[in-house]
């Protein structure tokens, strides 16, 4: 199937600065918003147990001011006076800093944005520590136990490897960090070789590149940060936490394919078969047909050294076993027979439309290229879309068979199971089909 040709226009002008920083600009002249995005090689996968959460905490601290705007309020007011609001997030293996604003504010915002990246003051640390503490507490019960089934399943799936760490970290680690620790982490990760910056929208590409290069070339070069691969999973795993809630939360993980695997594109199409709208298999079966959940979903994350396919849903305590059985049946069916041609054709069309929508979305364009540049990928949106649309039914079947193996399974439940019901849930997770 042919990818939409319109996205061929989304080609950046890119350059690598002397410090290794990847910089690009994408002209989208028909739009009325410009976007600045930075992607950083940082996150929980690069942390030790003692450091867990420091990447996320540092992301929060970037908002606490720069030399020119030396407080959280003054920095926020600066960006908002220019028509935008600074946003940031931290994932397992990258962090993102981004702002969308009127194009006439771009030059002024670019200078402050680059200051946030390179010159954070890291002041008012105890105030931000309190904020992050409240964020962590949202996922804990009164005994300090993690009650998030997804988080528990990820830890079960990856064991002691950092991919099993919570992104926000722990209360114990949070209390230990000071400005010295944060500055060391910033100096290690926010460096040229671990940064990509992209500007998109109705911009003068040459002017943007010149201005951004001047502001960013002073960032230290640093060394590319890497991480070790987790051990292979040799047997299924099960975890249960008794917790008084109105429902049982269930998370089901399969260790899957890493970023560079031949199965990555087919697995992405596999997930479109499972969960890309209310008519696809997960929602249709678990919600529409059986009424087991108000909502349920599936997702796939690919990292440099591993990947994971996750299913999540909440149901009445007495129906947790049925929910798990139905999720396993969904995976078994795809590993046995693969998708239908009609399902795959719909997945291709939706893939095309979503890529075509990038023509109206400078933020998704900036994020696409920032992520690609950081990972040293040369794929354009057109090439990526074509790769996905070219995936065959046989390739999806092969990816499902490789991923949905009993030995790769981890199941975590949080709820009020006991006695025979708990034994049955555990047996369902651990016993071969």
Give φ, ψ of 256 to 5 degrees.
Answer: -130, -150
Residue 9's pLDDT band, with cuts at 50, 70 and 90, is confident
Residue 3's pLDDT band, with cuts at 50, 70 and 90, is low
pLDDT at 233 over 80: yes
Same fold, 5-216 and 237-430: yes
Architecture of domain 237-430: 2-Layer Sandwich (3.30)
User: What pLDDT is recorded for position 411?
Assistant: 98
Q: Read off the pLDDT of each residue in 33-41 and give the average, rounded to a whole number.
A: 98
Architecture of domain 5-216: 2-Layer Sandwich (3.30)
User: What pLDDT is recorded for position 1?
Assistant: 58
For 314-362, write each residue's pLDDT tens digit.
Answer: 999 999 999 999 999 999 999 999 999 999 999 999 999 999 999 999 9
| 63 vs 378, residue with greater confidence | 63
User: What pLDDT is recorded for position 6?
Assistant: 84
Domain boundaries, the chain: 5-216, 237-430
Write the CA distances from 18 to 13, 43, 215, 236, 255, integer angstroms. Answer: 16, 25, 13, 48, 39
DSSP run (H or E) holding 329: helix 320-337
8 Å CB contact between 197 and 38: yes
Q: Read off the pLDDT of each residue in 187-205 and give the average, rounded to a whole number.
A: 98
What token pair was written down for 304? 């440099």
Write down the pTM of the prediction. Answer: 0.95
pLDDT at 59 over 90: yes
Q: Read off the pLDDT of each residue in 298-325 and give the average, rounded to a whole number.
A: 97
What token pair was written down for 342? 């009609």
216: nearest Cα among 82, 18, 12, 13: 18
Q: Read off the pLDDT of each residue in 29-40 and give the average, rounded to a whole number.
A: 97
User: What pLDDT is recorded for position 219?
Assistant: 98
């Amino acid at each position: 199937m042919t990818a939409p040709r319109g996205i061929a226009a989304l080609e950046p002008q890119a350059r690598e600065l002397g410090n290794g920083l990847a910089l690009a600009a994408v002209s989208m002249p028909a739009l009325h918003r410009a976007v600045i995005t930075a992607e950083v090689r940082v996150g929980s996968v690069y942390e030790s147990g003692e450091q867990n959460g420091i990447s996320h905490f540092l992301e929060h601290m970037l908002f606490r001011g720069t030399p020119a705007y030396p407080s959280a309020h003054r920095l926020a007011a600066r960006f908002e006076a220019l028509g935008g609001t600074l946003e940031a997030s931290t994932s397992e293996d990258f962090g993102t800093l981004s702002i969308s604003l009127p194009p006439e504010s771009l030059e002024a915002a670019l200078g402050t944005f680059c200051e946030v990246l390179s010159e954070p003051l890291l002041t008012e640390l105890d105030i931000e520590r309190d904020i992050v503490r409240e964020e962590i507490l949202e996922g804990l019960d009164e005994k300090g136990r993690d009650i998030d089934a997804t988080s528990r399943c990820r830890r079960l799936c990856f064991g002691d490897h950092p991919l099993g760490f919570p992104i926000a970290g722990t209360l114990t680690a949070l209390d230990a960090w000071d400005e010295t620790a944060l500055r060391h982490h910033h100096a290690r990760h926010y460096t040229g070789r671990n940064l990509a910056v992209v500007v998109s929208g109705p911009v003068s590409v040459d002017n943007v590149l010149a201005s951004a290069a001047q502001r960013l070339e002073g960032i230290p070069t640093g060394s590319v940060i890497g991480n070790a691969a987790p051990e292979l999973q040799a047997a299924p795993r099960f975890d249960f936490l008794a917790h008084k809630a109105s429902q049982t939360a269930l998370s089901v993980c399969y260790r899957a394919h890493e970023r560079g695997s031949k199965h990555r594109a087919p697995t992405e199409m596999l997930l479109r078969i499972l969960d890309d709208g209310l008519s696809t298999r997960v929602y249709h079966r678990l919600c529409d047909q059986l009424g087991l959940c108000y909502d349920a979903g599936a997702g796939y994350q690919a990292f440099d050294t591993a990947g994971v396919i996750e299913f999540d849903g909440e149901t009445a305590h007495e129906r947790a076993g049925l929910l798990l059985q139905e999720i396993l049946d969904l995976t078994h069916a795809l590993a046995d027979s693969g998708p239908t041609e009609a399902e795959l054709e719909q997945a291709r069309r939706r893939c095309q439309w979503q890529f075509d929508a990038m023509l109206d979305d400078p933020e998704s364009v900036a994020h696409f290229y920032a992520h690609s540049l950081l990972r040293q990928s040369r794929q354009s949106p057109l090439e990526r879309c074509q790769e996905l649309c070219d995936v065959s039914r046989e390739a999806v079947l092969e990816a499902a068979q490789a991923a949905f193996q009993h030995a790769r399974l981890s199941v975590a439940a949080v709820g009020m199971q006991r006695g025979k019901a708990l034994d049955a849930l555990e047996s369902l997770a651990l016993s071969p089909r």
